[in-house]
Structure 1
């Protein structure tokens, strides 16, 4: 139905954050046939709870700045826009953070 990767370090977009100070969501994906049915929210909730369980008070992610619908999903789940950076492919990436 859906998947994502969770890491405790992201030197590409968040080099100033040391290891284990935040968790990072990468490659969140949901099958199109069930899109809009809350799977993304469940995955995000899982990552938030994992962060809390491990005593980490922030969760971060990045996505293409032009993907407005995806950005809205993250913002609706409590993530705050924290700026943008260029990817190696020269895309503008939106950076997001969620804090307890």
Structure 2
């Protein structure tokens, strides 16, 4: 995820921060319709020791910084980015695709659940509650 929820503004600096975050095995996936401007991005990481310390190493890809340019909100960009990440993780031979969000973000959680994600559990980290979701590959 660059910054926040799927309807978050995605300006150039935030996208570049996501690109710079692509170290240590993380890989940003920019979404572009037919070679035009970037309309969304998601960061795929091979591990997530903060939110998923209990995940078996080498079995999952973890998604962060999902964001969509406001002008593209409501046009299926999050679903396309998540589908791309799903195909990528599956091609790597992984068993799960996992993500987290603040538990009180009900609209975001409804989006994930509507796209077939299963609630794994809710955890408290740093005084905040997070919902952890996964999809079997």
Which runs of no fewer than 5 residues in structure 2 stay unpaired? 1-38
Q: How many residues align?
A: 99
Match of 2:88 in 1: 50
Which sections of structure 1, spanning at least 5 residues, go unmatched? none
Q: Indicate which of 8, 22, 29 corresponds to 2:46.
A: 8
CA contact (8 A) 1:9 1:18 kept: no
Which has the greater radius of gyration?
A: 2
TM-score by length of 2: 0.69
Residue in 1 that maps onto 2:129: 92
Please give the residue correspondences for 1:70-85 in structure 2 after superposition, counting only pairs within 5 Å: 70-85=108-123
TM superposition shift of 1:74: 0.7
CA-to-aligned-CA distance 1:16-73 (integer Å, 9 cap, x gap):
2233210011010111121110000010001100011000121000001111111111
What residue in structure 1 maps to residue 69 of structure 2? 31
1:82 is paired with a residue of what secondary structure? strand
RMSD across aligned positions (CA): 1.0
Structure 1 outlier segments of 4+, above 3 Å: none
**In structure 2, what is the Cα distance between the partners aligned to 1:83 and 1:17?**
13
Structure 1: distance between partners of 2:128 and 2:65: 16
Q: Quick one: distance in 2 between partners of 1:54 and 1:63?
A: 24
